[in-house]
Amino acid sequence: MAPSADRHGYWGQPTSTLDWCEENYVATFYIAEFWNTVSNLIMILPPIYGAIQTFRDGLEFRYICSFLGLAAVGVGSWCFHMTLLYEMQLLDELPMIYSTCVFVYCLYECFKQENTTSLFPIALLLIFSFSVTLVYLHWKEPVFHQVMYGTLVACLVMRSIFIVTWVYPWLRPLCYTSLGVFMLGFLLWNIDNIFCNTLRASRHKLPPGVGVATQFHAWWHIFTGLGSYLHILLSLQIRSTYLKHRPNIKFVCGVWPTLHIEAQKTS
């Protein structure tokens, strides 16, 4: 990660254990990392819309929690990058664990009867979340959080690939698009970390509008936010297919995909 820049702003000296490659307080005195902050809108606004639509369709509460969990990550990440305070870092990183646990529950319990609750996986995921939280609060090592988050994502990837390979192969395009977009974000996250000095130097040479395109951590937010959103749609599609509902994909403003579910009519 990049060292803290010399500039100081509204939120004072950073106290977080991470400080990313975007230089601090360049765009405005009130936001430490401007582009890393505003890029979180993709993880806030669409999931809120998705939660509202899911509620209107009368779908299971777990999917409302999935959308709201993604929105919570976006809000936490917004606060973290805006302030670079340790408390806000926790508000970003811990919801990543909690929301992904909800994703795991939804995907691994997708072939159960409607409105049933399985206590064992819930207890297992709660123990995992509590343990990660407890360890991370005492051992402030970002790599630990990243490994735990990566473990949950790996569980989602394996389960998704199994389902689209052996159960619903017609969902492969959505599954692989979600995975591919997410992995593209992960690639850019690594480039931003490894080549930070080169990226910072290039931004001073490039026109401002072009230099913004090198803010790869902001692109990580955009691509992982989209990939996570598409994963929730995949999970909803799998669940609605199993329950014999009729999913209908619509596009808001002709661009953003949303899933509308109609119950199967019986004659």
State the binding site.
19-20, 22, 24, 33, 81, 217, 221
The closest alpha carbon to 103, from 231, 239, 247, belongs to 231
The closest alpha carbon to 36, from 113, 86, 89, belongs to 89
Joined together, the tokens standing for residue 123 give 């207890």
Length of the chain: 267
CA 12: distance to chain centroid? 28
Sign (positive/negative) of CA torsion 56, 60, 66, 69?
positive
Sign (positive/negative) of CA torsion 210, 214, 219, 221?
negative
The closest alpha carbon to 125, from 97, 154, 145, 146, belongs to 97
Which residues define the annotated binding site for Zn(2+)?
Answer: 81, 217, 221
90: which residues sit within 8 A by CB, 6+ positions away? 136, 137
Report the alpha-carbon distance of residue 75 to residue 89 in Å, rounded.
11
